[in-house]
Structure 1
Amino acid sequence: MTPWRLCLMILLCLLCMQIRAEGLLVIKPRETELTRTFIATLQEQHPELEVLSRQIDQLPDLDSTPLAVTMGVEALQWRLTQASRTPTIATYVTLDQLEPGASYPDHVQILLASARPERQLLLAQLLIPRLQTVGLLHSSGQRWQLPLWRQAARQQGLGLVASEVHQQRELLRGLSRVLDSSEVLIGIDDPDIYNATTIKSLLLTSYNRNRVLIGPSAPFIAAGSLSTTYSSPRDMAMSVHQLFQQPWQNGALNYPQHYSVLSNPQVARSLGLPPPDDAQLLRLIRMRESQTP
């Protein structure tokens, strides 16, 4: 380790320690119910702090605070253009919004809003008895995510069948190939595959083949996905709090340690599955994760 990098790490640690005595700046794209809940939970976790929030267009002063949190990819992109070396945790960024192979400055960590692959596969195993093979659709732009899911599947002892969709007219053909060779469809952060236009066809085709969709995120549950893990604004804020308590990880990419389970009981009943107990599923996933080295 070079001397300047060692000095930077020491500085980052000292700054993170100072947060208890000073303050925290949250940079958001706009004011919403989500941002209000997130910021209120941060304040609840750190009652000794002054938690300030600023919108990007208010030109926040990063050098006035020992640590910052950004919300959303727009705020992250703004942060990366700033020269300030204030340690920053970037939240509410999904895998599809990242550049494949991109690296980030030492003073920036990313806390993903994406569901952790291992977690989604654990959920699928709990919901589908004797599950052996999972299916995955992806666009060419999100091909880089495939190794993450292959590694997660190996860790869970599952086979993974993937199909790449190059054009929208190939979507149902690719889906049929995946459904022919797997027992459940796993949705990933890929807006070219999973969006308001395609979701109905994906679900109808899957359920006509007696296959369910796990994921890709909480908004798809109302549309007909069976279940997913996700992090609520409160979960995300508590995960940020947990990162505060740990040694700084230069340029790290993290998944939230706090999360919830959301299921669609009507979908389960229509496919002859027991209605999911989200609280029980959450407890079992946490227990399995705590047993994993």
Structure 2
Amino acid sequence: MKRNVKRIFWITLLLLFSSTKVFAAVYVVHDMEERVARSFVFELDRRLLLDVSLVPVRSHAFLENSAQKLKEDDLIVTVGVKSAQQVCSSLSKGVVVAVFIGKEEFQKAQFDCSVPSSAVFSGAPLDTRFALLKAIWFDRKPLAVLHSDHLLIDQESMSRQAKEYGFELNFHHTELDRLSVLKSVNFVLEESAMIFSLVDSELYQNTLAQDILKLLFYKRQVMVGPFLPFVKAGALLAIDSDTEVKLQVLTNHITVWHSSRVLLPAQYPDKLRVSFNPHLIKAYGIVPPSAAFLRDEYGLCSDTQCD
């Protein structure tokens, strides 16, 4: 009897260990300040209901030390466009999920990626942006689209989308030094009254973005911003998702990968927020849609009423 009980115990223990899934590593590759990186990893870990440890590591350290140790099913979360570009162009194993990256930035990084990759996009889909703009902006001069080499843009496809809403796009590539950027802004505004910005982290970094918005202010012209903070700095409006919403989507990507080894497609978060600049709205005589109309017509929450 005792022998049978002992045998049952060992068989049960063996089955338990054999059915326990061993999760691969999740590396969080970044170039953030350590304080910001710790906060990001803490918030992500708090949402993950998985027996998995997150390994935060700077891009250069990851490429020098960790990349060679990767297994086929290891997951690498890249934070920002630079990390995505560096990791994607160097890996031969693992899978990548990029966050805090624009769609066109991701497409450029993905072009050089030799491993499966996905993303949680910043900003908002073009259709959503064009639809809202059509309702409040009646100047049909071409919308100026400045962009750097860090984007992969399908101009033909974007132009078709814009045309469906009555807009024409004027694309202009620019180098990233201050003089070239300001010259480009002056050039495109000869035919346009508005810059329709894409998420271009290198072009719209802090100092360059401030210079562009100052120039627009003096010229009495405006920008549809790539991120919500641009509205406070002088953009007319912006549509984006906040960090919490991005983390929720990222958590889902990680969970699905670890439960089924299925990499979800790159996507924008469902919950998007629109912010209007009250001074520019008043100056241009624009009547912004109500919170209920934004929600029902465009699936957006307003900056003042977003749970």
Q: 1:239 aligns with which of 246, 249, 257?
A: 249
Identity of aligned residues (%): 16
- Confirm whether residue 125 of structure 1 aligns to residue 134 of structure 2: yes
226-235 or 51-60: bigger deviation: 51-60
Does the residue aligned with 1:217 lie in a helix, a strand or coil?
coil
With the length of structure 1 as denominator, give the TM-score of the two structures.
Answer: 0.66
Cα distance change on mapping 1:221 and 1:124 into 2, 3 Å: same
- Confirm whether residue 50 of structure 1 aligns to residue 52 of structure 2: yes
- Determine which structure has greater relative contact order: mean sequence separation of CA pairs < 8 Å that are 6+ residues apart, divided by chain length: 1
Distance 1:163 1:70 in 2: 28
Question: Does the 8 Å CA contact 1:137/1:175 hold for their aligned counterparts?
Answer: no
Cα distance change on mapping 1:249 and 1:106 into 2, 3 Å: farther
Aligned to 1:8: none
Aligned to 1:268: 281
Cα distance change on mapping 1:134 and 1:114 into 2, 3 Å: same
- Confirm whether residue 285 of structure 1 aligns to residue 294 of structure 2: no
Q: 1:161 aligns with which of 161, 170, 174?
A: 170
- Confirm whether residue 226 of structure 1 aligns to residue 226 of structure 2: no
Does the residue aligned with 2:198 lie in a helix, a strand or coil?
coil
- One-letter amino acid of the counterpart of residue 138, structure 1: L
Cα distance change on mapping 1:67 and 1:281 into 2, 3 Å: same
Does the residue aligned with 1:188 lie in a helix, a strand or coil?
coil
Aligned to 2:39: 36
Q: What is the alpha-carbon root mean square deviation over aligned residues?
A: 4.3
Gaps (5+ residues) in structure 2? 1-18, 301-307
Question: Does the 8 Å CA contact 1:42/1:237 hold for their aligned counterparts?
Answer: no
Distance 1:165 1:67 in 2: 34
- One-letter amino acid of the counterpart of residue 299, structure 2: R
Question: Does the 8 Å CA contact 2:80/2:98 hold for their aligned counterparts?
Answer: yes
Distance 1:35 1:150 in 2: 41
Distance 1:270 1:276 in 2: 16
Q: 1:135 aligns with which of 131, 136, 143?
A: 143
Does the residue aligned with 2:286 lie in a helix, a strand or coil?
coil
Deviation at 1:235, TM superposition (A): 1.8
Cα deviations by residue, 1:179-235 (Å, 9 ceiling, x for unpaired): 454453212244675454454554355456654311122332221012112232222
